[in-house]
């Protein structure tokens, strides 16, 4: 049966945010779109790409609302495309995970992340799947904002493409095999 999926990469628009740790959601979606010959077009609340994956319909969304208003874009596209909550995947940077770690969770707290916080407030529930991309926490006290809005180290840039590629495989698995199976298959990698 054909299903609708909404895959959301969180980030901030603007050249000053490109390829920063906080924009890893955008970078993952850009790579996934490129691998699947999908082009983004600017539409309401964000850049949208659409594709089929073995009969499933995927809408890829990079919100243009800035991080702390991401929920507005998610809700709009969920309603427009009639995507059930269980078919929404949010790709987000995570300070609590070591660099390059990828963890899928079917629900959870916002853990202080403004994008997740707004999504949770807007949808009225924390029960949406998220793919957490570890960015590490190698910053001095009080320097968290500078850290998440800065670029990757040269060492991280060497392994980043492989981790982004793995995130793409996780997106595919989520759409074809579901959250639980994807967690079982990928959360240990």
pLDDT digits (tens, 9 = 90+) for 37-55: 999 999 999 999 999 999 9
Contact 78, 90 (CB under 8 A): no
Across 3-159, the runs of DSSP E, i.e. the strands, are 4-9, 41-43, 46-53, 56-63, 88-94, 102-105, 129-134
Whether the CA torsion 130, 179, 42, 26 is positive or negative: it is positive
Of the listed ranges 40-49, 121-130, 139-148, the one predicted with least confidence: 139-148
Conformational region of residue 12, where left means phi above 0, alpha means psi within -120 to 50, and beta covers everything else:
beta
Active-site entry in 19, 22, 113, 118: 22
pLDDT digits (tens, 9 = 90+) for 4-37: 999 999 999 999 999 999 999 999 999 999 999 9
Degrees to nearest 5, angle at CA 67 with 91 and 63 = 70
Domains (ranges, CATH) in the chain?
A: 4-186 (3.40.50.1470)
Q: 19 catalytic, yes or no?
A: no
Structure tokens of 176? 């074809």
């Amino acid at each position: 049966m054909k299903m609708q999926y909404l895959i959301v990469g969180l980030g901030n628009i603007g050249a000053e945010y490109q390829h920063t740790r906080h924009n890893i959601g955008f970078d993952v979606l850009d790579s996934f779109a490129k691998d699947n010959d999908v082009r983004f077009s600017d539409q309401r609340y964000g850049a949208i790409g659409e594709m089929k994956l073995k009969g499933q319909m995927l809408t890829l969304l990079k919100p243009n609302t800035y991080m702390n208003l991401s929920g507005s874009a998610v809700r709009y596209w969920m309603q427009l495309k009639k995507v059930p909550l269980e078919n929404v995947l949010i790709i987000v940077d995570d300070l609590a995970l070591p660099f390059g770690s990828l963890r899928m969770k079917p629900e959870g707290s916002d853990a202080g992340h403004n994008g997740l916080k707004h999504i949770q407030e807007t949808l009225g529930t924390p029960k949406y799947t998220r793919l957490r991309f570890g960015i590490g926490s190698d910053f001095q006290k009080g320097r968290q904002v500078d850290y998440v809005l800065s670029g990757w180290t040269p060492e991280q840039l060497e392994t980043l493409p492989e981790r982004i590629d793995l995130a793409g495989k996780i997106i595919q698995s989520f759409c074809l095999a579901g959250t639980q199976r994807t967690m079982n298959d990928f959360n240990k990698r």
